[in-house]
A = this chain, B = another copy of it.
Amino acid sequence: MALIEIPASKGNAALVKKGQSVKLINTHGTQVVDLWAFNSADSSEFLSFPHTHTQTEHVIPKIGDVMVTNRRRPILTLVEDTSPGVHDTQCAACDRYRYELLGVTGFHDSCSDNLTAALSALGLTASHTPQPLNTFMNIPIDENGKIAFKPTVSKAGDYVVLRAEMDLAIAFSCCPQDIVPINGPDCTPVECHFEIA
């Protein structure tokens, strides 16, 4: 079990066999990590939160929840979570359009571009950027359905463990968001790590 780095503001991906587990570690505790999964034999089948919501009846996955694809087949089960369980399934991956709207001119890393690059390194493509599991992202929803953007509440070394329910490609992006303080109040993206067992 070698620790694999997800560099600050960048992505990474790996092939995982059915039955293997993926441990994603929030090395510094402050970092949001976008997570996607694709059927490694057919990337038009992917982890889908609209379908998962219907199946698990939970907005945010809880331990034991079996997440499903856009064909409603099991793809990942959340088996461990040492963080307070605060993750997000409401907000799209950041992309160049998000940074343009935030006033950035010129290039800015984005989770969406990181997904494209990470999949490409495995020889895979995606028709679009599916809704990620935004691990450790703190997006509270109040009783009126109002969303807020808050810093993570995880601590250094917190991790989630996910079991692969099919042969899949898992992709991560250490969110490069440095304007809205989702990666901690100092808005400094940092690296995280994962391992496959």
Contact = CB atoms under 8 A, between A and B. Distances in A.
A54 B92 contact: yes
Interface of A: 44, 48, 50-51, 53-54, 57-60, 70-73, 90-93, 95, 97-98, 100-101, 127-129, 131, 141, 143, 145-148
B48 A141 contact: no
B147 A48 contact: no
A44 B127 CA distance: 9
Contact of A72 (B58, B97, B143, B145): B97
B127 A53 contact: no
Contacts of A145: 58-60, 141
Given A44-B128, A57-B147, A72-B95, 8 more contacts: A50-B92, A51-B92, A53-B92, A59-B141, A59-B146, A60-B145, A127-B128, A128-B128
Nearest to A70: B128
